[in-house]
Structure 1
């Protein structure tokens, strides 16, 4: 990826912040409940004084945020601070290689991939700020004069009174919606019917099962839900099932299949992009890859004629980063926005994005174009680790 700005850097400092805000109501999935909303932010400062912000995926387990913050402070700092890198991707690749044996030894490849991903986001933000240009322009090598509006969908709609939340999000300006399913056939069907009645027959409407079913259950569910005109069925089976299982599932039920938030590495993404099962590809840039990995995933997705929809269900830095990622990749599809209340989505990424006719428009502000308001979030800060 060629860039129009200087991409070499030396990091002087990495600061790590952990936040927790109440989840009211709790966020329900088929495998667990989030009773608070965590966030882990990384702030990198280079030797020229430029700063950038990144976010690490940390929703699960319930103690995961503090652990990831400690891992970031312990392992990223000695490997990055004081070293010179010619490009964020070079840093991403070096860290991935250096941490590979540790990942095997401690059995935590996910945690290490996540802290590297959050750092990558921060490095790209830092370089774009240093160059005084928006990140979407830096990532596109100047090819984008102005990004197209980015369609959003209201995600994470819980199975308890989902029609009420859908109605509120429709009033706010959302035009596409996604419901959590996997709570029993009767309850799922009743919730689907209730939301369809609220949003209308033509509104884009998707479902997410969060790996709830085995193959036969997923086939039955897809057939059962066909009548609701759904845009996709997300993670109906376990994410570690081989691509051949997803191909079979796609053939034996009518709904398009979506997934990718629990995939890691270009080889694994290529396996799913290159086969017929999963047609909506959803990497989470705070979980694996950052921009350095997920931008390439997006481009490979479009080359195969599939749909690219970045996954995100965290705080505001990662959400804004997902906007930039989708803007640069382009193509049809959406970025998801959690429909549930979360003060960390707004306070950690100011100014708050503006929804217009179901989409958001990125502007010319440097870097990600947002800043966390640490003072406003002081009651939510539970851990800070400076150098």
Structure 2
């Protein structure tokens, strides 16, 4: 008999970012995250976990809004329904709640985790993989002067050797920051930039000329998320263009592909609405010759594990390092056992589902 959903529970968790890794970019300062953990329990007593990594300034979602929608709207509709197919439950959530992809992704991740644990296989296998068992990663560098130096020193001590520099705050200052980052990282280190949509078309064109001399490997979201023509106009100028804020769900991806506006797409489990949909979006992008990497909204350990399994389940993945940084980014870890990561790569284990669980003190606090 197919297992049914017995309970959907939540737990608010707030963590400060590692003080040496605070991100300062065109969309503001990210120094702490107020997220929501999700737990699904099945009629067979299988437990799956998910994470809502919402940031109001960027996604319009946060732990409080997610807790309300999950407890008062989604959970009552899901409890008692068969666990599979998970896609049918995702469709049900879409009918009940417009938008809010990060909230629904938190629930969807827990459902997929429970499904994979029921099968006794890693989530990457349930999603159609794995095509690889490790993923290269990078970390953001931001700030100026001693602040930038400190972030790099902290990241280097954690093992990171690949980086992206936060720009979009004024071309002159941006280029000076990139020049300093190149000095710090070394002439052969992987270095990209992320403008978070902070440049105008004219500023982006001027910045790209200056970035070429610093050996920058990609420029991420150089112009506004709605400006697909402006994004596409920067292609072919010596630095590949990565779309991030321009692509949330499938409709955004289709529009981007039609406009031929990017060389690579930064996929998020949260933006996509869950791990299954993230893999489907990556497959579609790959069919059109557009690479993908896993981007970050500062996920905790559960979200980082979901990123890892999605990255390993994608048939093709960009050589650009992904942003699976949950094992390093916060002052503490929410996981009982951290992901296997040394700052240069994060590695997939063979355990069922996501392969991770929250710390015991957190497990006992779900409601």
- Cα distance in 2, alignment partners of residues 221 and 246 from structure 1: 13
How far is the alpha carbon of 1:272 from its aligned partner?
A: 1.3
- Cα distance in 2, alignment partners of residues 217 and 148 from structure 1: 40
User: What is aligned with 2:72?
Assistant: 74
User: What is aligned with 1:224?
Assistant: 210
User: What is aligned with 1:381?
Assistant: none
Does residue 258 (structure 1) correspond to residue 242 (structure 2)? The answer is yes
Check conservation: 2:222, 2:231, Cα contact below 8 A: no
SS of 2:23's equivalent in the other structure is strand
SS of 2:222's equivalent in the other structure is coil
SS of 1:287's equivalent in the other structure is helix
Does residue 49 (structure 1) correspond to residue 45 (structure 2)? The answer is yes
User: What is aligned with 1:21?
Assistant: 15
Candidates 323, 328, 334, aligned match of 1:336: 323
Check conservation: 1:323, 1:335, Cα contact below 8 A: no
How far is the alpha carbon of 1:159 from its aligned partner?
A: 4.3
Check conservation: 2:307, 2:324, Cα contact below 8 A: no
How far is the alpha carbon of 1:71 from its aligned partner?
A: 1.7
- Cα distance in 2, alignment partners of residues 33 and 185 from structure 1: 19
User: What is aligned with 1:361?
Assistant: 347
84-93 vs 51-60, which moves further: 84-93
Does residue 125 (structure 1) correspond to residue 113 (structure 2)? The answer is yes
How far is the alpha carbon of 1:180 from its aligned partner?
A: 0.8
How far is the alpha carbon of 1:290 from its aligned partner?
A: 0.7
1:187-336 equivalences in 2 (<5 Å)? 187-241=173-227, 243-250=228-235, 253-261=237-245, 263-312=247-296, 313-329=298-314, 330-333=316-319, 334-336=321-323
- Cα distance in 1, alignment partners of residues 24 and 343 from structure 2: 28
Does residue 37 (structure 1) correspond to residue 33 (structure 2)? The answer is yes
- Cα distance in 1, alignment partners of residues 86 and 11 from structure 2: 21
Could you tell me which runs of 5 or more consecutive residues in structure 2 were left unpaired when the two chains were aligned. Answer: none
- Cα distance in 1, alignment partners of residues 271 and 221 from structure 2: 16
SS of 1:21's equivalent in the other structure is strand
How many corresponding residue pairs? Answer: 358
How far is the alpha carbon of 1:214 from its aligned partner?
A: 1.8
How far is the alpha carbon of 1:120 from its aligned partner?
A: 1.0
Q: 1:79 to 1:181 in 2, by over 3 A?
A: same
Check conservation: 1:73, 1:385, Cα contact below 8 A: no
How far is the alpha carbon of 1:29 from its aligned partner?
A: 1.9
- Cα distance in 1, alignment partners of residues 329 and 248 from structure 2: 29
Does residue 162 (structure 1) correspond to residue 148 (structure 2)? The answer is yes
Q: TM-score, normalised by structure 1?
A: 0.84
Q: 1:357 to 1:13 in 2, by over 3 A?
A: closer
Q: 1:48 to 1:271 in 2, by over 3 A?
A: same
* Deviation string, structure 1 residues 8-59 (Cα, Å, up to 9, x no partner): 5421111111111234354322122234222211111111111111111212
SS of 1:375's equivalent in the other structure is helix
Check conservation: 2:197, 2:245, Cα contact below 8 A: no
Q: TM-score, normalised by structure 2?
A: 0.88
SS of 1:217's equivalent in the other structure is helix
* Deviation string, structure 1 residues 256-311 (Cα, Å, up to 9, x no partner): 11123452332221221344321111121123321121101111222222221111
Q: 1:357 to 1:322 in 2, by over 3 A?
A: closer
- Cα distance in 2, alignment partners of residues 33 and 377 from structure 1: 30
Q: 1:256 to 1:351 in 2, by over 3 A?
A: same
Q: 1:13 to 1:152 in 2, by over 3 A?
A: same
Does residue 59 (structure 1) correspond to residue 45 (structure 2)? The answer is no
How far is the alpha carbon of 1:320 from its aligned partner?
A: 1.2
Check conservation: 2:23, 2:140, Cα contact below 8 A: no
* Deviation string, structure 1 residues 59-82 (Cα, Å, up to 9, x no partner): 224983222221221111122112
CA RMSD, aligned part only?
2.6
